[in-house]
């Protein structure tokens, strides 16, 4: 059954990795999806693949670091689809942009290039803020909407050698919590979703330890929880932190706490 028929979603950083996996999961449940990313071959290829399967998909070129581009992209989504029900804030860059060998040779924070630090924060934290800021007023005016912020394990946030990626995601989680409080009572909810472990994406170096790559989670693990958070089933849930690998037990615990039978 298509649980998201008639819904419109905007997924940033959706040309590959978990962004593309989440976009696909939403599309498979009947949603119309704006696939957002910086322009390039990956975006074109991903959108063409989705369209060839008959999905209703809109390619949107956008650099989340640029407020004007974000505003233009959001306007394009509303112009094309007429409305927006779900925002998935996922765009990000990883440690490879700062230190290609961050697993084998982690850099102490004082050796991290300033421009590298600024680029990661601008994308992973400021980018989340800019996109949510552009969308939230429209959702509030409508009285409904779901914003989902993608994050990572807290253990990884404070891992040695993970400046600036760790702090950027820690900041985005704090941002999500504050947003949820600011939007409480408006009909718009904000929740955080993370895989729960290292995930197979382009952020993992090709020469990373084989053990790490063998243990990495598939991007598709984000499918069931993103569909749930985008659907009516998550109505009223606000300010939660959902870990994909624990999604089933988290959902069961919530239903038991409310005295509802589990499906």
pLDDT of residue 216: 77
| H or E stretch covering 176 | helix 165-182
DSSP one-letter string for 28-76: HTT-EEEEEESSSHHHHHHHHHHHHTT--EEEEE--TT-HHHHHHHHHH
Residue 142 belongs to some domain of the structure: yes
Q: Which of 50, 55, 102, 165 is catalytic?
A: 165
Give residue 82's domain range: 8-257
Tens-digit pLDDT profile for residues 89-110: 999 998 888 888 887 889 999 9
Residue 205 has pLDDT above 70, yes or no: no
Alpha-carbon dihedral sign for residues 211, 214, 218, 219: positive
Tens-digit pLDDT profile for residues 242-251: 999 999 999 9
- The answer to whether the beta carbons of residues 13 and 36 sit under 8 Å apart is yes
Residue 130's domain is classified under what CATH number?
Answer: 3.40.50.720
Round to whole Å and give the CA distance between 261 and 239. 23
For the chain, give the mean pLDDT. Answer: 92
Residue 116 belongs to some domain of the structure: yes
DSSP assigned state of 124:
I
Tens-digit pLDDT profile for residues 134-183: 999 999 999 999 999 999 999 889 999 999 999 999 999 999 999 999 99
Q: How many CB atoms lie within 10 A of CB 143?
A: 9
Round to whole Å and give the CA distance between 149 and 34. 16
Largest CA distance in the chain: 54
Please report where in the chains the tokens 């298509």 appear, as a residue: 2
Tens-digit pLDDT profile for residues 14-66: 999 999 999 999 999 999 999 999 988 999 999 999 999 999 999 999 999 99
Structural domain total, the chain: 1
Contacts with 171 (C-beta within 8 Å, 6 or more apart), sequence order: 121, 124, 125
The model carries a pTM of 0.91
Residue 263 belongs to some domain of the structure: no
Least confident of 12-16, 193-197, 214-218: 214-218
- The answer to whether the beta carbons of residues 205 and 100 sit under 8 Å apart is yes
pLDDT of residue 259: 72
Active site residue 165: yes
């Amino acid at each position: 059954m298509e649980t998201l028929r008639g819904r419109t979603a905007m997924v940033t950083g959706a040309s590959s990795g978990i962004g593309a996996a989440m976009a696909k999961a939403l599309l498979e449940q009947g949603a119309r999806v704006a696939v957002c990313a910086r322009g390039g071959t990956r975006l074109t290829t991903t959108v063409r693949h989705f369209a060839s399967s008959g999905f209703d998909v809109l390619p949107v070129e956008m650099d989340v670091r640029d407020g004007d581009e974000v505003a233009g992209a959001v306007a394009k989504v509303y112009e094309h689809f007429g409305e927006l029900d779900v925002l998935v804030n996922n765009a990000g860059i990883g440690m490879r942009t700062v230190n290609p060998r961050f697993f084998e040779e982690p850099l102490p924070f004082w050796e991290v290039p300033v421009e590298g630090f600024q680029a990661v924060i601008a994308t992973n934290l400021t980018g989340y803020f800019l996109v949510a800021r552009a969308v939230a007023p429209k959702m509030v005016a409508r009285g409904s909407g779901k914003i989902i912020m993608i994050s990572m394990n807290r253990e990884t946030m404070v891992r040695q050698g993970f400046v600036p990626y760790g702090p950027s995601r820690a900041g985005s989680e704090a941002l999500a919590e504050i947003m949820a409080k600011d939007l409480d009572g408006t009909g718009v909810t904000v929740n955080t979703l993370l895989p729960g472990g290292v995930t197979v994406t382009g952020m993992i170096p090709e020469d990373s330890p084989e053990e790490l790559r063998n243990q990495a989670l598939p991007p598709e693990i984000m499918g069931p929880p993103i569909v749930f958070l985008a659907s009516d089933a998550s109505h009223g849930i606000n300010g939660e932190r959902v870990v994909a690998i624990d999604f089933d037990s988290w959902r069961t615990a919530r239903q038991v706490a409310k005295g509802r039978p589990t499906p």
